[in-house]
Structure 1
């Protein structure tokens, strides 16, 4: 890969740049409770980062009756939608994106959020001026830990896997990046521990966007391969 080819940073959004992990957790908890299929919140939290199809398999088992899946997803979406106007960015998330852009890196939001959720996430971030490309779940045939959303982000941004770093907050993010041999920087602000992220293969782990920003010059982002 020529060293003068474009370099960039792919960012997960939910739990990485915007503080939504626990909102998704409680929304899934209530949707499942309403369907008389209660699951402990701690169990749900550890599945956040998967797409809804794989999340329900993970929580309820792949051999279950799937006839209620659409109703469960719709209930989650309705409950989560009540928070849209109150979504908050994680500490200095927009500053981190701008700092990456100032380094000449393409900033790509590789989110598997549904298209109708992406607008709320963008409003919370308020950094459209430096975002090069944004994906949504519509761009991926399979959800994380499959790497489809990262493949789509690369294709849409014109970047090569050999010249990017991915930043995410879950072990599913690390797994998806690993399947493409993309280094993944982990953030613990989504509620996954430093040890879990490192154990899954994250090349570096920081508390949140603010800590990564402070360490940016010495982080894996500073020198994409």
Structure 2
């Protein structure tokens, strides 16, 4: 039985967190709502179903949520050409496969966005599978995305790798360990406070520790 490495994509393998923060800021402004970019950044890692009420309140969600999410898609589409792979991402994927992990890329991104990231990472031959927004009904910090990734792997013994507090919270809800990298702009202590078993400064540091990652079965 192979252990599953559930790898977050946005902010962990591709450098998108600040693109997303700017796109959400612009999307809110289209509806005459101003949310400080720093506050939006704190919510990046959530899906849009969670992010809008989290940063702008329930009233904005009820009245404008769908419009804001549609505007975000248009805004972020215009930034995709600027997205780059985070240094060490491809090396991490290759070494994880060599180490015997079943690698599943766990993203709640739109299918066309995930397709672009797969191309950037040249990951289709390395990953056992991947998820998109089409695979989940609720996004992080709900654990649905991780559960969908495990279903694609056909295993439940896993470790989650992410960059945000929301990755850590989602893993914790189903009893899986999460190791975090600081590539998404979250601090070490806040990641630990939200359940990260370990925190790495970058992907190469994580890659060097692949054989020692904590692995358990999902609850």
Correspondence for 1:47: 43
Residue 182 of structure 2 is aligned to residue 188 of structure 1 = yes
1:28 shift after superposition? 0.4
TM-score (norm 1): 0.92
Aligned residues: 216
Correspondence for 2:213: 220
Structure 1 residues not aligned, in runs of 5+: none
SS at the partner of 1:210?
A: helix
Structure 1 stretches (4+) deviating beyond 3 angstroms?
none
Residue 152 of structure 2 is aligned to residue 156 of structure 1 = yes
Q: Distance in 2 between matches of 1:59 and 1:199?
A: 21
Cα deviation 1:13-45 (Å, max 9, x = unaligned): 000110000000000011112211001111000
Q: Distance in 1 between matches of 2:16 and 2:154?
A: 28
CA contact (8 A) 1:13 1:111 kept: yes
SS at the partner of 2:196?
A: coil
**RMSD, aligned α-carbons:** 1.3
1:67 shift after superposition? 3.5
CA contact (8 A) 1:49 1:172 kept: yes
1:183 shift after superposition? 0.4
Correspondence for 1:112: 108
CA contact (8 A) 2:4 2:150 kept: no
TM-score (norm 2): 0.94
Cα deviation 1:47-71 (Å, max 9, x = unaligned): 0011101100101112446232222
Q: Distance in 2 between matches of 1:113 and 1:121?
A: 10
1:116 shift after superposition? 2.0
The 3 A distance-change label for structure 1 pair 181 and 65 is: closer
The 3 A distance-change label for structure 1 pair 76 and 149 is: same
CA contact (8 A) 1:16 1:208 kept: no
Structure 2 residues not aligned, in runs of 5+: none
Q: What is the 5 A alignment of 1:89-128?
A: 89-128=85-124
After superposing the two structures, state which structure 1 stretch, 83-92 or 97-106, moved more. Answer: 83-92
